[in-house]
A and B are shown apart, each in its own frame.
Chain A
Amino acid sequence: MALTREQITKRAAAELQDGYIVNLGIGMPTLVANHIPEGMDVWLQSENGLLGIGPFPTEDEIDADLINAGKQTITARPGASYFSSAESFEMIRGGHIDMCILGAMEVSQEGDIANWMIPGKMVKGMGGAMDLVAGVRKVIVTMDHCNKKGQTKIVTECSLPLTGKNCIDQIITDLCVLKMDNQKKRFVLTELAPGVSAEEVVEKTGAEIIVGDDVREVAV
């Protein structure tokens, strides 16, 4: 059975490590914050200039000067710091962020990602996505394996304009977990959703992937 959004999010949270500095994309990736393992110290960075995002505020705590990249009101945790957008992207582009999680419209077999623009549709801009995929040390995509029309989102080559080239380290979909093998330049299937077979994943993937020797069931 395919994983729910909640389960994909939970699986992504399992990639966190104690002391990690992490940037979470808007939408499903934001929910990863709800699944940080107990006792683990993870610092969330917001690209508009905050390291140490806290929980959403109570009605009394709402402060118009304190928002996240999705423009939601937030709080800052003890030990947090504020900085300019230039410094924020020095962190991101200089390799000082351990991990980011973001969504995608397409990922290619070599780890290219497209997630900011559909030709012919209103373009809103890439925001910080191009900087994150180029600079963060480990880039994870969480997405549905296929789009609403049932077409694969993991493709030989992206048809949509790219956000970045050869930058995705891991994909977590509703069907499986894929990890990039940097030598072979292909994703390796390492985990399957309960009841999903490797054959089904290969069939629903429009790209070359490697089925790993030791494919486990996703622990959710």
Chain B
Amino acid sequence: MADKVLSDAVQALADLRDRGVIYDGMTVMVGGFGLCGIPEHLIQALRDTGVKEITCVSNNAGVDDWGLGLLLQTRQIKKMISSYVGENAIFEKQFIEGDLEVEFNPQGTLAERIRAGGAGIPAFYTATGYGTLVAEGKETREFDPPLLCAKVNAGTARRRPFVMETSLYADLALIKAHKADPFGNLVYRKTARNFNPMMATAAAFVVAEVDEMVGVGDLDPECIHTPGSYVHRVVNTVSEKRIEQRTTR
């Protein structure tokens, strides 16, 4: 079995420039929702490769001094494909000054575009965004939707317009999981799962950072979230796991 386990995040990306995975202008997917379930060490390792002009697919853009905010600080990101960019002053400044391009996707459209990319589906139709800026320039088509999609109280015809969305695929995906085995089977934890499983299927090269390594056969095959075949490299790290909104009852 090929050895997928690397000693640290820097090692995990070290030869990827030579292998053509990391290059200026590349597309990278980064898992996480807010700061929850982000591959924090791999983000720093990507920064340290010095790669520029990145197109980054990620639901959010981190905060000023953590997560993808670190790659914004160093101006390595050219374009973000995201659903919400939150409170990030560096992001805001670069966006307003025109140094950073942003493509906003509805969150479900973003998730589905990534899922479709990993599933070999080039495009799909969705009701989301019809009649909004998001649908501008895109093909729309009417369908009779599956019954459940019809509104509970709509006394009107079910037929409605849908917008065509294309899939997303990246050169590299940086994933955060909870546990991995040496084959790269992954198990996520709680809401730190979020965008990670789809991204693990939608890139040419996939590196996962995990809280815990276990042996082959230690993970219950019934409970593996991402089969190891999707994952090229795994690195065991100790995450800081910052909290954005510490709320108690």
Contact = CB atoms under 8 A, between A and B. Distances in A.
Partners in one complex: yes
Interface of A: 46-50, 55-59, 62-67, 70-74, 76, 82-86, 88-89, 92-96, 98, 112, 117, 122-131, 134-135, 137-138, 161-165, 169, 182-183
B152 A65 contact: no
B39 interface: no
Given A84-B111, A126-B134, A162-B132, 17 more contacts: A49-B33, A62-B243, A64-B36, A64-B192, A71-B86, A82-B191, A84-B198, A93-B149, A112-B131, A117-B133, A123-B104, A125-B82, A126-B106, A127-B106, A127-B107, A128-B107, A165-B131
B130 A165 contact: yes
B184 interface: no
B242 interface: yes
Contacts of A95: 146-150
Nearest to A59: B248
A134 B128 contact: yes
Given A65-B241, A135-B149, A86 B247 contact: no
A85 B130 contact: no
Interface stretch (B5-13, B22-30, B44-52, B153-161): B153-161
Interface string B190-226: 1111111110000000000000000000000000010
A128 B83 contact: yes
A86 B106 contact: no
A182 B155 contact: yes
Given A56-B247, A124-B85, A48 B33 contact: yes
B67 to A, nearest CB: 12
B95 A49 contact: no
Most A Cβ at <10 Å: residue of B112, B126, B247: B247
A68 B234 CA distance: 28
B141 interface: no
B153 A169 contact: yes
Contact of A70 (B106, B196, B245): B245
B122 interface: no
A37 B36 CA distance: 32
Nearest to A185: B156
Most buried by B among A56, A98, A117, A165: A165
B190 A93 contact: no
Interface SS of chain A: loop
B18 to A, nearest CB: 33
B249 A131 contact: no
Given A73-B243, A86-B197, A169 B151 contact: yes
Nearest to A169: B153
B148 to A, nearest CB: 4
Contacts of A135: 108, 127-128, 149
A86 B104 contact: no
A126 B108 contact: no
B37 interface: yes
A29 B149 CA distance: 23
A57 B151 contact: no
Given A82-B190, A165-B131, A71 B107 contact: no
A63 B242 CA distance: 10
Given A93-B126, A134-B130, A128 B108 contact: yes
Contact of B111 (A57, A82, A89, A162): A89
Contacts of A89: 107-108, 111-112
A130 B198 contact: no
A82 B115 CA distance: 17
Contacts of B129: 130, 134, 164
A7 to B, nearest CB: 23
Nearest to B104: A125
A171 to B, nearest CB: 15
A64 B83 contact: no
B177 to A, nearest CB: 11
Interface centre among A70, A130, A182 (most CB of B within 10 A): A130
B107 A85 contact: yes
Nearest to A136: B151
A127 B109 CA distance: 10
28 contacts: A48-B36, A49-B193, A59-B248, A62-B248, A65-B36, A65-B178, A65-B191, A67-B191, A67-B243, A67-B244, A82-B193, A85-B59, A85-B110, A85-B195, A86-B198, A93-B127, A95-B150, A125-B85, A125-B104, A130-B106, A130-B109, A131-B106, A131-B128, A135-B108, A164-B130, A165-B132, A182-B153, A182-B156
